[in-house]
Amino acid sequence: MAAAGGAHWSSRFTFLMASVGFAVGLGNIWRFPYVTGENGGAAFVLVYLACAFGIGMPILMAEVLIGRRGQGSPTRAVETLAVQNARSRNWRVVGAMGLLAAFTIEIVYAVVVGWVLWYLFKALTTGFVGVDAQFAGEQFAGVLGSNGGMLFWTLIGLAITGGIIYAGVKDGIERAVRIMMPVMFLLLIGLAAYNYFAGGFNEALAWLFTPDFSKIGFGTVLAAIGQAFFSLGVAMAGMMVYGSYLPRHISITSSVMVIVIIDTGVALLAGLVVFPAVFHNGMDPAAGAGLIFQTLPVAFAQMPGGYLFSVLFFLMLSVAGITSMVGLVESVTHWLEDRFDMPRHRSALWVVGSIACFSVLSILSYNVLDELRFAGRNFNDAMDLFSNQVLLPLGGLLIAIFAGWVMSVESTRDELTTLHAGGYALWRFLIRFVVPPAVLVIFIMGIADKL
């Protein structure tokens, strides 16, 4: 079955912007800085780069080629290719895992995007004037304690995302990313340039690019591969769906290379936006998930031009969050269209509505349902463990095995025609012999570490 009503990207640029928009999200700008801070700075960055290019990129290429070759939703695309290669239809579970991962991640992610939109509103209305460390902590605690406020801003984020999906590939996703992604890049570059003059920039450069190899341990590798998967959008079904919209004349190899480079560049730029403010104001770079919501408002209150900086920062973060939500929601929406022959408008409403309902559990888990435990974890922690520690690595492992061992050389080579013989041989070697054992070891050790 052809991609969603025969939909295809109108150009390589729109495919790249949509794909980068999906990959570049809070994983880069919110998660990357604090994970880097928690894992020793530059040493972590080096390991992350090795994981992103050596493991993430081959899997991402496999996802896109499966989507384009199979021409359908993730489950249908994998099933079609399995049948073509005389293998069991049950391989469609590879696509199903990606869809489940996308849906599971979106339940929790939509609430975090709601925080970002709420903080954008706070930046616009108060600019964090007079905020000190105690007040910032109380303010964030107030956010986590306000179920009505979190629900309102979560629904705002889902409404924006749903509106983009509702309009379709060309009128919705393409139109949105053509505007939103260049704006986000300009904001990132502008904020980093501002920090160059505002102070703390040299300390941030040293923190990000002067490695301390004594800090590299297995925990660093686990954090790096987890961040690479989360940041690149590996095994979340989105890239498989976006691949199904990709015309044959567009190179998968060069496109994925651009996506990984931009994604990594944005993550590093985000570090140069976040860390200078942290260092200049004598704050802790390893402040964890609260770095963005508790530490930076204090910095905004103290810096010259802090009002404008705070507005632009949370605007950039909002754009990154929404474009990632679009990729997650689109994958499940496309599956409903494909599986049940459902019109896009109805499928978009079903997906957004169901995420909104489940997100209530995520919201309540920050306060009244915190004591409700699944294997000793609250709802959010359980969903995070299930998606990031189980579905993503297992999904990446199965995608690599499917592309490397189930699909024929002829079919994968036909999708990677622009890749020279040596490059194709390297990709095939990585996807067959390097990626599966590496991801399997990381998966086992990651689960063992959490038990």
Say if residues 68 and 252 touch (Cβ distance below 8 Å): yes
pLDDT value at 278 more than 80? yes
**Average pLDDT score over residue span 183-201:** 90
Q: What is the DSSP code (8-state) at residue 214? A: G
pLDDT value at 47 more than 70? yes
Close Cβ partners of 107 (under 8 Å, ≥ 6 residues apart): 355, 358, 359, 361, 362, 383
**Average pLDDT score over residue span 109-130:** 94
Structure-token pair, residue 425:
């041989």
334-to-223, 243, 275, 358 alpha-carbon distances in Å? 31, 12, 39, 20
Close Cβ partners of 211 (under 8 Å, ≥ 6 residues apart): 41, 42, 43, 45, 46
pLDDT value at 187 more than 70? yes
What are the phi and psi torsion angles at 178 (to 5°)? -60, -35
Say if residues 1 and 160 touch (Cβ distance below 8 Å): no
Complete domains list, the chain, with CATH: 4-450 (1.10.4160)
Q: What is the DSSP code (8-state) at residue 284? A: -
Lowest mean pLDDT among 45-49, 152-156, 216-220, 267-271: 216-220
User: Which pLDDT band holds residue 6 (cuts at 50, 70, 90)?
Assistant: low
Using DSSP's 3-state secondary structure scheme, residue 252 falls into helix
- The predicted-structure confidence for 220-256, as pLDDT tens digits, reads as follows 887 888 788 878 889 999 999 999 999 999 999 999 9
**Average pLDDT score over residue span 414-426:** 94
- The predicted-structure confidence for 356-378, as pLDDT tens digits, reads as follows 999 999 999 999 998 888 878 99
Q: Give the integer Cα–Cα distance in Å for 17 and 327.
A: 11
Lowest mean pLDDT among 70-84, 165-179, 199-213: 199-213
Say if residues 389 and 450 touch (Cβ distance below 8 Å): yes
pLDDT value at 299 more than 90? no
Ramachandran bin of 216, using left for φ above 0, alpha for ψ from -120 to 50, beta for the remaining angles = beta
pLDDT value at 2 more than 50? no
Say if residues 260 and 53 touch (Cβ distance below 8 Å): yes
- The predicted-structure confidence for 63-73, as pLDDT tens digits, reads as follows 999 999 999 99
pLDDT value at 27 more than 90? no
Close Cβ partners of 241 (under 8 Å, ≥ 6 residues apart): 3, 67, 73, 74, 327, 330, 331, 334
pLDDT value at 4 more than 50? no
State the DSSP string of 140-206. Answer: HHHHHH-HHHHHHHHHHHHHHHHHHHHT-IIIIIIHHHHHHHHHHHHHHHHHHHHHHHHS-HHHHHH
167-to-338, 339, 344 alpha-carbon distances in Å? 17, 20, 8
pLDDT value at 107 more than 90? yes
- Rounded to two decimals, the pTM is 0.93
**Average pLDDT score over residue span 275-295:** 80
Q: Give the integer Cα–Cα distance in Å for 255 and 108.
A: 29
- The predicted-structure confidence for 144-160, as pLDDT tens digits, reads as follows 999 999 999 999 999 99
User: Which pLDDT band holds residue 289 (cuts at 50, 70, 90)?
Assistant: low
